[in-house]
């Protein structure tokens, strides 16, 4: 028998998966398939799959990516970037759903390291599989308008990667203090 907390986590996962599907579908319909590989879009997928499969570590990785990426997305939107309803759903909706799941399951230890390593893999995939013009996950150049602040893409990327690791660690430390302890029947090893 599935308990109420587990059923709610699965429901939250399904909703996040719906947010991912809506946003990915918008990219595909617009002829911008590489944009599906943006980490925040993939984070909504992770929150969804992790919630459905009752895998808190997968949810924690998605939440970590969103905590880091949502402020960058907001900066882009405030600087004149495109704003879509589906973007709000993935960046803010999936973040809220992921936190709702983790509130019930706890935050698994060392999720920050897995979030970091998987993010490096996604950066590598973005570099290999997407066109430079799309600049998915900012792997090809400094975003427009920031070239004066960051004249070197290598330094910009190094700062981004370092800041992501620090953010993922901070998210884990705060979550483990504020959320229930992991280790229940639905916790990842």
Confidence (pLDDT) at 185: 45
Q: How many domains does the chain have?
A: 1
CA 185 to each of CA 50, 90, 106, 162, 178: distance values in angstroms, whole numbers, following the listed order: 15, 28, 11, 34, 19
Domain span at residue 97 reads 4-178
- Any domain includes 184: no
- Model confidence at 50: pLDDT above 60: yes
Query: Could you tell me if residue 67 is inside a domain?
Result: yes
Residue 187 lies in a domain: no
The predicted pLDDT at position 181 comes to 67
d(CA 145, CA 76): 10
On whether residue 22 sits in a domain, the answer given is yes
**Entry pTM:** 0.92
Is 130 strand, coil or helix? coil
- CA 41 to CA 134: how far, in whole Å? 15
In a domain? residue 183: no
Q: How confident is the model at residue 6 (pLDDT cuts 50, 70, 90)?
A: confident
Mean pLDDT, range 49-67, rounded to an integer: 97
Residue 105 lies in a domain: yes
The verdict on residue 153 lying in a domain is: yes
In a domain, 189, yes or no: no
């Amino acid at each position: 028998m599935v308990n109420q907390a587990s059923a709610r986590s699965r429901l939250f996962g399904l909703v996040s998966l719906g947010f991912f599907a809506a946003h990915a579908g918008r990219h595909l319909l617009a002829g911008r398939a590489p944009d599906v590989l943006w980490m925040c879009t993939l984070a909504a997928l992770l929150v969804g799959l992790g919630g459905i499969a009752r895998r808190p570590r997968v949810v924690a990785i998605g939440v970590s990516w969103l905590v880091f990426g949502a402020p960058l997305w907001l900066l882009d939107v405030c600087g004149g970037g495109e704003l879509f309803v589906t973007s709000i759903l993935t960046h803010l909706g999936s973040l809220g759903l992921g936190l709702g799941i983790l509130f019930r399951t706890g935050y698994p230890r060392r999720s920050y390291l897995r979030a970091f390593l998987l993010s490096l893999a996604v950066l590598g995939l973005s570099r290999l599989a997407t066109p430079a013009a799309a600049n998915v996950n900012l792997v090809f150049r400094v975003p427009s308008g920031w070239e004066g602040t960051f004249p070197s893409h290598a330094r910009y990327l190094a700062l981004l990667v370092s800041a992501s690791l620090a953010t993922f660690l901070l998210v884990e430390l705060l979550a483990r203090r504020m959320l229930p302890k992991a280790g229940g029947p639905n916790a990842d090893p």
